[in-house]
């Protein structure tokens, strides 16, 4: 594991009081639409409604096991016209590694299946049952499962929101040569993510996670670049997105990670999305006119029909 030099680290958070640090890492307190409690309730409600609707589809296959663990399940949503060469979009939900569920995270399914893309929404063992290392391992296994089951796919695209963006980032650093197959990862969308876990260790968020400083450093993609990263840098396009109404720390983490990825040769773009907070930045994926929604189908359709 290569640790980036101190000059590339962002650490002004260390000068913050505990109260200010916890405010920076409390996304619900920065919403421009609703108060902290209301925005979380609204997010869950919207997610439940859209997920219930798409789960009723004849083309959905729910509760598929990608591993032996009880929590290692995923839901797959197929487009009306299927083939062995579909692109697959895997979504990893957020919730600070201790909340969230695949059962209210299918925001992006309607526009993507309409564009001919299969979508898998992945569950993993959240804390306190799961720890960070286990969650990274589980998401990695979900990717490997899709590759093995659908080996003729036209590309696997990973998307993570918040803590899910962190998990996707760690999975991208996998040495795939140690596994049975190398997944056909073509793109990754990191939405309002956290890429340096050290601030989390010093906040209330760690009460359930119980991360040590060593755990945080080992699982911070901001500072961990492995030699095997070249396995995917040449084939994977990344988009890092953050909402206008995410906190300053979330903005800084996204910008810092964008710069780190560019330094290490990734094909990466950065987007700050206007007039969204930490929650509706992902909720709006159900809208065809939304900037990220438009990015997904265009990218996929070009691959399906032009490659």
Structure confidence by residue, pLDDT tens digits, 84-98: 789 999 999 999 999
> Which pLDDT value is given to residue 257?
96
Task: Give me the catalytic one of 43, 161, 278, 299.
Answer: 278
pLDDT value at 106 more than 80: yes
Task: Give me the catalytic one of 162, 169, 203, 247.
Answer: 162
> Which pLDDT value is given to residue 278?
98
Task: Give residue 244's domain range.
Answer: 2-306
> Which pLDDT value is given to residue 300?
52
Q: Which residue's entry shows tokens 């780190």?
A: 260
Q: Which of 81, 124, 136 is nearest to 305 (CA)?
A: 81
> Which pLDDT value is given to residue 234?
75
pLDDT value at 155 more than 80: yes
Task: Give me the catalytic one of 75, 196, 215, 246.
Answer: 246
Residues in the chain, total: 307
Question: For a pLDDT cut of 70, what percent of the chain falls above it?
Answer: 90
Kindly report the three-state secondary structure assignment for every residue of 38-80.
HHHHHHHHHHHHHHHHHHCCCCEEEEEECCCCCCCEEEEECCC
The tokens for 91 are 């979504």
Please give the mean pLDDT across all residues of the chain. Answer: 90
Mean pLDDT over 252-258 rounds to 96
**Any idea what the CATH number is for the domain that residue 30 is in?**
3.40.50.1820
291 in Cβ contact with 262 (< 8 Å): no
Is 75 annotated in the active site?
Answer: no
Kind plus residue range of the DSSP H or E element containing 262: helix 248-263
Is 162 annotated in the active site?
Answer: yes
Better pLDDT: 103 or 227: 103
> Which pLDDT value is given to residue 140?
97
State the pLDDT confidence band at 299, using cuts at 50, 70 and 90: low
Is 125 annotated in the active site?
Answer: no
> Which pLDDT value is given to residue 8?
47
C-alpha–C-alpha distance, residues 230 and 266, integer Å = 9
State the pLDDT confidence band at 11, using cuts at 50, 70 and 90: low
Better pLDDT: 182 or 305: 182
Q: How many domains does the chain have?
A: 1
- From residue 11, alpha-carbon distances to 8, 198, 249 in Å are 10, 9, 10
Better pLDDT: 298 or 92: 92
């Amino acid at each position: 594991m290569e640790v980036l030099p101190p000059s590339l680290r962002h650490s002004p958070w260390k000068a913050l009081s505990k109260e200010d640090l916890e405010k920076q890492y409390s996304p619900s307190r920065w919403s421009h639409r609703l108060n902290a409690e209301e925005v979380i309730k609204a997010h869950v409600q919207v997610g439940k409604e859209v997920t219930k609707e798409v789960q009723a589809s004849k083309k959905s296959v729910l509760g598929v096991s990608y591993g032996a663990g009880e929590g290692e399940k995923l839901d797959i949503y197929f487009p009306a016209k299927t083939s062995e060469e579909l692109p697959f979009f895997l979504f990893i939900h957020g919730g600070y590694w201790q909340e969230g569920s695949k059962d209210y995270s299918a925001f992006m399914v309607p526009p993507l299946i309409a564009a001919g893309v299969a979508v898998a929404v992945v569950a993993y063992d959240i804390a306190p049952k799961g720890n960070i290392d286990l969650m990274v391992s589980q998401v990695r296994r979900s990717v490997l499962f899709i590759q093995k089951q659908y080996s003729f796919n036209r590309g696997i695209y990973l998307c993570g929101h918040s803590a899910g963006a962190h998990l996707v980032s760690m999975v991208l650093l996998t040495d795939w040569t140690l596994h049975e197959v190398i997944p056909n990862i073509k793109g990754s969308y990191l939405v309002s993510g956290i890429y340096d876990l050290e601030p989390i260790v010093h906040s209330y968020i760690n009460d359930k996670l119980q991360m040590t400083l060593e755990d945080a450093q080992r699982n911070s993609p901001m500072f961990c670049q492995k030699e095997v990263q070249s396995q995917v840098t040449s084939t994977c396009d990344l988009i890092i997105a953050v909402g206008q109404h995410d906190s300053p720390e979330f903005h800084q983490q996204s910008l810092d990670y964008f710069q780190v990825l560019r330094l290490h040769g990734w094909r990466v773009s950065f987007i700050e999305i206007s007039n969204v907070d930490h929650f509706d930045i992902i909720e709006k994926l159900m809208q065809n006119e939304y900037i990220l929604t438009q990015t997904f189908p265009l990218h996929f359709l070009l691959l399906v029909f032009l490659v």
